[in-house]
Structure formats: structure tokens, C-alpha cells
Chains A and B, each alone.
Chain A
Amino acid sequence: MVTIDTAASKRRPRPHAHTRGYKVFRVVNVTVLILVMITMLYPFLMIVAQSFSSDTAIRSGHVSIFPVGFNLTTYRLVMGDATFWTDYRNTVVYTAVATLIAIVLTTCYAYVISKKHLRGRGVMIGIAVFTMFFNGGLIPNYILITSIGFRNTIWAIVLPNAISVFNLLVMKSFFENLPLELMEAAQIDGLNTYGILWYIVLPLSKAVLATMVLFYAVSFWNSWFSAFLYMDKSELFPVTVYLRNLIAGASSASSSGAGATDVAQVSANIQSVTMVLTVLPILCIYPFVQRYFVSGVMLGSVKG
């Protein structure tokens, strides 16, 4: 499709390419997008600049997007904190395991409910959709997780959030759009249901799988609430909880009259360094896979 489009565009100039209105549109469009980009980029650059600046310069308001009073001391200090690395490792493990489980369960569920001839399909979809609107509530969930012995284990984080209904419906829609004839042919050639899924459907679904992996991985990387609820030991926390405690704890304690012994004075410099270190892996991967985010949402949205 892309090749044909390109060839066609070479042969036939776009009808509005040289009109005055189109040029004005392009200028306005580019200007607005540049402004949006600056708005998005500025806070990020400021955080990076602060992470390399001295605390005094930050407090004095001298730091914008370039470091002032360049120093790497805080990087050395934070990277020397064993808890930070323990929590960082936890985040990597939780994200990897949770994403793997989530992708397996979501794929299986979505494949099943994409079969229109399946008896009880409506109920299975209904059960999934029901959980989008209603849930047991925090305290019942906490009691459930505790009573089945998941508290202070990785399972408390990875299992309750294993299936995102939104992702499930996207996948279901994608599977529904695969040509039925392919599966029938595979069935005639002797493949059973699992064989069809493994040898035919999954190889054709790499795009949606990549998207789902990305969706799940980013969501698990950023999540902190489950760990906060179900983990009671700092060596089990993900780095997001560490970071949240560092930032939210510091600002609330110093702003609300907390006891003098508990006033956490975390410098803006340390906050910035921690943020940069936490966001770094996602930042390295994101540019290479971000196109899936756009295409992923569109997947399965158009029938025919």
C-alpha cells in the first residue's frame, strides 16, 4: 500500500500543495506544533539541567534549560544508595514478569472471545467489560490479596492487573479482522485450535503484540499503587514508590507543619537526578517503538 501511494504521489502533484491557503496552513501548523513541542520539552530539559546543577543555583532560580554550577555529586550519591538500586531492580523484574503474564493472558482471552461462534461469548465479554465499571473496592481487594497469601510477593503486583480490558478489546478486535479463510485452511491441513493460534494467528499479530507489550510495560513501569498497598518492606518497593516518597514526602512534610525531626529536606537537585535516572530506560526505548503507540490504538478499529 505504501509503495503504491508513493508512486502515485510522484506522478500526480497534490492538488492543494501550492495554494496560498495551504501554505498558510503549513506555517500555522508548524508554528503551533513547535510551540507544543517546546511546552513539552521545556520542563523535561529543566529537570535534566537541574540534575546537573548545584542546589544553590536551583534555589536562586538561575537554572533554566542549561546547568548552572555543574556538578555530578548528586548522581554519585543517588547511585551510591543501595535502596535505589534494589528498588530499580524490583521495577525491572516486576515489569518483565507482569508484562509476560499480562500478554499471555490477554492474548488467550482475546483470542477466545474473538470467535463469534463460541457459545457464552457474550457472557465472557460482559464479565470483562463489567470490571471496567465496577470493582470490589480497595479494602475487599486488600483482604482478598492478604488472605490468599499474596501480600509481600510479586504476585500481588502482577496478577490483579494482568488483564487490561481496554487492551483486551483492542486485541479481540484485531483477531476478529484476521481472514477466517486462513484458519479454515489451517484446520483442513490438520492444525487444532492451539496450533492455529501458535502457527497462524500469532505470527500475523506481531504488530498488535508489540503494541500490547509496550502498553503493558509502560503501565507497569510507571505503576506504584499496587506496590504501595501490598508491600510492607522497602526492599520490595519498585523505584516509583521510592521516587514518590522522595518527592511527595518531602514537599508535604515541609509544607504542613510536620514535626521538626521529620521535615524532609530533599533538595531539588536530588529530585531531578532521581527523576532522570528513573525515566532513562523508557526514554532510550521509546523513540524506537513510539510509532506502535499510534498504530496500536488504531489497530482493529476499522473493519473490512
Chain B
Amino acid sequence: MESIKMFTTRRGFLLTTAGSAVAITLSACSGTQSGGGSSAEGLQNTSGAMTSFKAGDPFMATQALNVSMLFSDAPTYPNKSDWLLWSEITKRTNITINTTLVPASDYGQKRSLLIGAGSAPTIIAKTYPGSETAYVSSGAILAVSDYLDLMPNLSEKISKWSLSSNIDSLRQADGKFYLLPGVHQDPWQDYTIAIRTDVLAQLGLKSPTSWAEFRTFLEKIKASHPASYPFSDRFNVTYPGGNVLGIASVGYGTKAGWAYSNFTWDPSKKTFVSTPKMDEYKALVEYFRGLVGDGLMDPESFTQTDDAAIQKFVTGKSFAISTNAQTVANDYTKGLTTNFPTATVDKMQFPSGPAGALLDPITKLENGLMINASIVKSPNFVATMQFIDWLWYSDDGQEFTKWGVKGTTFTKDASGKRMLDPGITFISMNPGAPKHLQKDFGFSGGNFAYGGTTELLQSTFSPAEIAFQKSIADYKLIDLAPPAPLNEAELEQATLMATALNDAVSQGTVQFILGRRAMSDWSQFMSELDAKGATKYVDLVNGARARYLKEHP
């Protein structure tokens, strides 16, 4: 998502283009495709490093060190230099983090600028998988795959949690990967549809669990509220119907909305196919076309702002809307109960589709960090890698960045259940307490606290959210696409095609859903996409896949 967002402003586009231009120029000058050099480079730079550092070990640098970090400053809990987080990191590891603060609103732009200018800090946090590709050819980013031996905690999690195929999806043309992703023990799902559970009870219906049942639910509501559009949706930023098409595409066995990609891996054929040409994609479009055509879904769902959709929901004009865990509490429940004191709203179970009850295992990877390649020349290189491994990937480090300091910000009973200190509030815990875990202490912040064991992930969830996660625990996982990294020339060609192709797909999809084009036009639509390079694009990816297999058998 972040890479798409990056292009939503002219400045963002210019910055990214400029960043890419510099990256390409640097790469052309160096004439290599290095990503931090060979695996041996830098390993002798052990100043401050622990001689023996294994998974589960605490990390303490043997001498005081400083590490610079690009830090995404969130508006709701702006960074404070006196956070317990900072002092405790130094106390536990003998390392002080020097931050370069960037407002979260424009983090991607500044990151491009700093990397392009060669001024990036050592740790570049908050980077989503895929965003690193633009910087790889410049040699400015470290090929972290060369140094996994220095990261025992990450290595252990990759093997224990069967993350190899997820990690493979990060590999670039040289077979290496350049991003240290946040890793989850299990796949999880946040986004789904929120529904009015009080209306559900009134109509004597069970909560829908599939897209077919969801349609039945909407039909029943339409029958009792004929003047309404029962489903009026939001989340249209960067893609019309971004969320609803994205989550529906999982159950339909394709990719759409926010999850859209011009190519999809077909495990039966062992090849990539053009996504919009899949029968499954057409079926998905027909499903939503049916909802709109029968008056079950608001045609404005693909264009309206979030606020407009929220207002329709909380004023009782609609009964279903896209959601994540936070928006249920913050956007819907408050407003709805003001207008209708007995109204209730909850997340619907993640709907299954014609392809089954499926989840995308890509959710096991979270945003992570890149490392400035110049760090290999630093005498503290090995210590820095050990530090990163401990803070971001060890169980202790993950618990520390999420919950804080045991005995100070939280306590843990014999069963392992954590309790926040009564004087500290966070999410729905200890409402009204004078201090806030994020704002006053810096813990549970987006730069550090993500990924980890399922137990840790769910430790701050509400009971309703835990129930939602349990309801999808037995879902099957779709096959991950194997690596098919494009080389520089192919990447450039693909980028040129992608802009026109993505626009044509999103516009065409919405036109068919809204009924502005007849389904008999579908083959004409496919021809239009071919003219924009739909088939050529997939051929490019399949070619890259074949080359990758040949070079990395």
C-alpha cells in the first residue's frame, strides 16, 4: 500500500522518480549489482559485538555504541526524547539510538530522498515488503540475506514458523533479499465487514460467514428497509473499493482492490497468469455487479469518502461497511449508539468464497526495516546486526517494545498473562488512567512493535477481536507466489506498463460493477487490457521466473 500511496502527490512522484533516477545512476556508475558485498564483507568488524550470541540470549554491546535510525513519527504519540523506551534500550543493550524524525504522513517521500542522497541512517524502519525494490540496484541497501548468521533469533523464527516461502517472496534478481520483514507466527486478518448485529438478531439471522450468505443478509435487510442501500462502503483511498474487493478476492481465488496485482500465481499450471483475465476475477466482478444491480450495495461505495460512508452507517442508512478492529470501536460504535442506543455492531467472520475459506499467508510478513549498506564498513557492524536481531526478533525484545518494562509498565502472572500497570492506559485497557503506554513511554509504537508470536500479537486484543481471530484459525492458506524478480530493464518496462494497466483495470472493474458496461463487453475489455500490455506483463514475469529458476535451481 505504501508504494502506491507514495505516488498520490506530485511531490511524492517527483521524489520517488528522483530517488529511482539516482539509484539507477549510481548503479550504472558502479557497474555491479552489489547489495552490501559478499557474505564475508564486514564480518571482521566486531567492535562492541558479543562473541557468543545465540537465539534467546540477551544482547549487551561490549562497549557503548550509537546507532542512527529513521523514525516514523506518529501524530497520535509523537516522539519524546525522555521516553522510557529510549533509556531502557540503552540500559539493556549499551546502545543509544539516534533518531532522524520524519512525520508519518510523508515518511515514504523522505525515505526516498535520504536514500537517494546517500544520507540515510543505519536503520531505515517502517518499510513494507516491496518498497525496498526501488533501492536495491543502487547498492545503498544491505543484502541482509548475506548476514542471517548474525541474526540467530530471526533465523530461528524463519525455520520454526515455516517462513521460508514467505521470505523467498522478498528475493530480488540476484537471489538475495534486502528487507528484514516483521514476522508473524501465524497468518492473521484484520480487515473484514462490520455489520449491525442488532438488526441481524431482529431478522432472526445467523452472522454470515461467506459472500453468498452476506448477500442473503443484505437481501433480508433490503426487504425490511426497501428505501435503503444495506451495504455502503468506504476505504477508497488509492483504489476504488480497495478493501472490499481486496478481501473478497481471497475467497474468490484471485487478486483485486488493495490486493491487486497484474499477475497471479496459478499453482496447478505452475505459472503466472494475468489477473483480470482469470475466470475468478470475472466471477468476483459479477458478484458485486449483482449487489449493485439489485440495490443491495450503494453505487457510491466506490467513490465516496470514508466520512460519507461512516455517516450513512451511524445514522442507520446502511447496515454493513468495511472495517478493521480499530474502526469498529472508534468510527462506528460511538456514533451509532448515540443515534440508536440499543444498536450493536461487530466484525463479520472473514467471508469465504467459491474457492473456499482461505487466508493469504502473506499476512505473516509485516512491515520491517532496511539497513544502510555502508554499515558493513563500520567497526560496529556485527554489533549493530546483533542489536537489531535482539530488539526486533527476540521474544524478549518483542515483548519489551510492545509492553514495556516488566514491573514498571506491566506485570505478568504465573500463567503468562500480562496486565498493564493500573496507572497506564492503552487501547481498551485501564480507561481513564493518567499515563498512556504509547504517548508517555513510547512502547507499542509502529516503528518497533509488530510481528511476534500469536500469543503476543493477541495479548492486546479485545475479547471480540480474539474471537474473530479464532474463527479464522482453521482457514486454509493460499499458495504463495514463488520468486520471479525482474531485472532493471524489465522493472522499468513493467513500471511503464503498470500505470496504464492498473488504471484501466480499476476503472473497467468499477464500470462493470456499477452496470455502466454490459457483461457482454467483457471480452472487449480484455482486448483493451491486452492493448495496454496485460499479456506482455505476465510474459515478462514468467520470463523472470524461468531465469530465476535457471540461475538459482
Q: Which residues of B397-443 are within 8 A (CB) of A? A: none
How close is A262's CB to chain B, nearest CB, in angstroms?
3
Q: Which of B339-385 contact A (CB under 8 A)?
A: 339, 366-367
Asked if residues B446 and A262 are in contact (CB atoms below 8 Å), the reply is yes
Looking at A138, A225, A266, the one whose CB has the most chain B CB atoms below 10 A away is: A138
Say if the beta carbon of A15 comes within 8 Å of chain B.
no
Contact A60 B335 (CB under 8 A): yes
A59 and B446 contacting across the interface, CB-CB below 8 Å? no
Q: What's the interface size class on B, roughly? A: 35 or more
16 contacts between A and B (CB under 8 A): A60-B311, A60-B315, A138-B113, A139-B117, A229-B110, A234-B79, A245-B104, A245-B105, A247-B105, A251-B306, A254-B324, A257-B190, A257-B324, A259-B366, A264-B75, A264-B104
Say whether A233 contacts B101, CB under 8 Å.
yes
| Residue A146 is within 8 A (CB to CB) of chain B in the complex | yes
Chain A residue contacts of B237, Cβ below 8 A: 251-252, 255-256
Task: State A56–B330 Cα separation when bound (angstroms).
Answer: 10
**Residue B78 contacts which of A59, A234, A253, A254 (CB distance < 8 angstroms)?**
A234
Per-residue interface assignment for chain B, residues 232 to 246, with 1 indicating a CB less than 8 Å from any chain A CB and 0 otherwise = 000101100011000
A60 touches B75 (CB 8 A): no
Q: Does B390 contact A (CB under 8 A)?
A: no
- The residue that B324 contacts in the complex, of A245, A260, A264, with Cβ under 8 A, is A260
Chain A positions 26 through 55: 1 when the CB is less than 8 Å from some CB of chain B, otherwise 0: 000000000000000000000000000001
Complex partner residue of A244 from B78, B103, B324, CB under 8 angstroms: B103
The answer on a CB contact under 8 Å between A225 and B11 is: yes
Contacts of B338 in A (CB 8 A): 56-57, 60
A250 within 8 A of B: yes
Decide: A249 near B116, CB < 8 A? Known: A257-B190, A260-B190.
no
Residue of A232, A250, A261 near B450 (CB, 8 A) is A261
Do A139 and B18 form a contact, CB below 8 Å, given A256-B1, A260-B326?
yes
Question: Given the known A-B contacts A143-B117, A228-B106, are A262 and B74 also in contact in the complex, defined by CB atoms under 8 Å?
Answer: yes
List residues 232-270 of chain B with CB under 8 A from any CB of chain A.
235, 237-238, 242-243, 258
Say whether A237 contacts B113, CB under 8 Å.
no
Closest A-chain residue to B448, C-beta based? Answer: A261
B327 at interface by CB-CB < 8 Å = yes
A25 to chain B, nearest CB (A): 38
Does B213 interact with chain A (Cβ within 8 Å)? Answer: no
How far is A287 from B224 in the complex, measured between Cα atoms in Å?
A: 54
Q: Mark B293-318, 1 if CB is under 8 A from A, else 0.
A: 00000000000001100110011000
On A, residues with C-beta under 8 Å from B are 55-57, 59-61, 83, 137-139, 142-143, 146, 225, 228-229, 232-234, 237, 241-242, 244-266, 268
* Interface pair B258/A249, CB less than 8 Å apart: no
Cβ of B191 under 8 Å from chain A = yes
For A138, list chain B residues within 8 Å (CB): 14-15, 18, 113
Q: Are B446's CB and A255's CB within 8 A?
A: no
In angstroms, Cα B120 to Cα A142, docked, is 12
Query: Given A245-B105, A250-B75 in contact, is the A146-B117 Cβ separation under 8 Å?
Result: yes
Known: A249-B105, A265-B76. A255 touches B331 (CB 8 A): no
| A196–B191 alpha-carbon span in the complex (Å) | 71
**A245 CB contacts on chain B under 8 angstroms:** 73, 75, 103-106
B314 near A259: Cβ-Cβ < 8 Å = no
A61 touches B315 (CB 8 A): yes
Decide yes or no whether B5 CB sits under 8 A from chain A: yes
Known contacts A246-B75, A256-B1; can you find 18 more A-B pairs with CB under 8 A? A56-B334, A59-B314, A59-B334, A61-B311, A146-B119, A225-B11, A232-B99, A234-B101, A237-B103, A245-B75, A245-B106, A249-B104, A252-B5, A255-B235, A262-B74, A262-B104, A263-B324, A264-B74
Q: B76 and A266: CB pair below 8 A? A: yes
Contact indicator B367/A259 (Cβ below 8 Å): yes
Closest residue of chain A to B1 (Cβ to Cβ) is A256
Cβ of A38 to closest chain B Cβ, rounded Å = 21
Q: Chain B: which residue is nearest A237 at the CB level? A: B103
Contact among B14, B76, B79, B449 with A264 in the assembled complex (CB-CB below 8 Å):
B76
Give the docked Cα–Cα distance between A143 and B19 (Å). 13
A72 CA to B7 CA, complexed, in Å: 38
**Whole-angstrom CA separation of A165 from B18 in the bound complex:** 24
Asked, given contacts A60-B339, A259-B366, A259-B367, whether A139 binds B22 with beta carbons under 8 Å apart, the answer is yes
Does B2 have its Cβ within 8 Å of any Cβ on chain A?
yes
**B100 close to A (CB within 8 Å):** yes
A257–B106 CB distance below 8 A:
no
Partner of B307, one of A225, A229, A268: A268
Q: Which residues of A contact B334 (CB under 8 A)?
A: 55-56, 59
